[in-house]
Amino acid sequence: MRKITIPLIAVLLLVGCGQIPGSQGNNQPEIKADKAAVRQYWNQVRPILDDTARDVAKVADVNMKIKDGNVSVGINPNAVQQAQRETRQGLNQLKQIQPPKGLEQTHRRLIKAYSEAIPALNNFIAAVQSGNAGQIASSFRNDLPKIQNLLNEIQNVRQQLQQASN
């Protein structure tokens, strides 16, 4: 695990205060497919979502500590790269799935979240590898919310599909 120490003031200035970008409300499209179609779709996407969520969660939950005016960030570069690979593979697998009628919006939502997370993961890796405090803080502000959004979308879709299939 690599530790990066950044002066607290720099992080606060670069990250800013207030709401995290991309954390606004949740627009879940209504599922209009029948239960059998929902179950079939759920069986197709569940392994993809589970694999992605497992790896991306290791990145989205960054260990940050503040001590003596400095911020220490614990980041495992291998975990970030694994999340990047898993997200890219998951996106490719999702694109191969033809969602049943009534689940098209849900499927597009997943593909959009995966598509936005991949460049965010790329930027996050580059920032961590740079060791540059400004670049890391910028990535925390701009990229981490997109990575976290992928996890949120996966969780929301899981819940929605489970409810619609019962």
Q: What average pLDDT does range 69-74 have in this prediction?
A: 60
pLDDT for the residue numbered 31: 79
Average pLDDT of the residues in 65-74: 60
Could you tell me the pTM of the whole model?
0.77
pLDDT at 139: 86
Please state, as a whole number, how many other Cβ atoms lie within 10 Å of the Cβ of residue 166: 8
**Where do the domains of the chain lie?**
32-61+75-165
Assign 70 to helix, strand or coil.
Answer: strand
Mean pLDDT of all residues in 51-55: 93
Q: Encode pLDDT of 119-136 as tens digits.
A: 999 998 888 788 777 787
Both tokens of 133, joined, read: 């405090």
Tell me what pLDDT residue 111 has: 96
Q: What is the pLDDT of residues 98-124, one digit of tens each?
A: 999 989 999 999 999 999 999 999 998
Taking alpha carbons only, the member of 27, 14, 8, 50 closest to residue 144 is 14
Higher pLDDT, 70 or 81: 81
Please report which confidence band the pLDDT of residue 21 belongs to, taking 50, 70 and 90 as the band edges.
Answer: very low
Rounded CA gap, 119 and 134, in Å? 18
Which of 58, 76, 74, 77 minimizes the C-alpha distance to 66?
74
The helix (run of H) or strand (run of E) holding residue 49 is helix 35-60
Rg over CA atoms, the chain = 18
Do 84 and 111 touch, CB atoms closer than 8 A? no
Residue 22 pLDDT greater than 50, yes or no: no
Is the CB of residue 10 less than 8 Å from the CB of residue 84?
A: no
DSSP state for residue 32 in the 8-state scheme:
-
Contact 148, 141 (CB under 8 A): no
Amino acid at the residue 52: T
Closest alpha carbon to 1 in 79, 87, 53: 79
Listed range (1-10, 81-90, 138-147) with the worst mean pLDDT: 1-10
Written out in words, the top-level CATH class of the domain with range 32-61+75-165 is mainly alpha
pLDDT digits (tens, 9 = 90+) for 149-164: 999 999 999 999 988 8
